[in-house]
Amino acid sequence: MRKIRMHVAGRVQGVGFRYMTKMLADQLNIGGSVKNERDGSVTILATGDDQAIAVFIQKVRHSPSPAGRVTNFELTEDESLPDYSSFQVVYS
């Protein structure tokens, strides 16, 4: 089980980025959450098997939303994350 935290910036709000990220996570059986930040970026917490997480990272890095564009991408391994049973869009 791999547990990661991603912080992405660019054109990632107002373009369906969170919803497309959730669809992708659901397809790959990844748990976690995606949340808009006040500075216009997005934070993603994700847990899943190594291969699924690798695909997820690659697709998020290139934007799961056709209208989105990721210009800054930070990835951190975070073993402190819980084992999520589903993937949620967090509204703040």
The residues carrying an active-site annotation are 18, 36
C-alpha count within 13 angstroms, C-beta hemisphere, residue 26: 8
Nearest to 17 by CA among 47, 51, 46, 41: 41
Task: State the Cα–Cα distance between residues 46 and 31, nearest whole angstrom.
Answer: 6
Q: Please report, in angstroms and rounded to a whole number, the separation of the first and last CA atoms in the chain.
A: 28
Task: State the Cα–Cα distance between residues 77 and 90, nearest whole angstrom.
Answer: 21
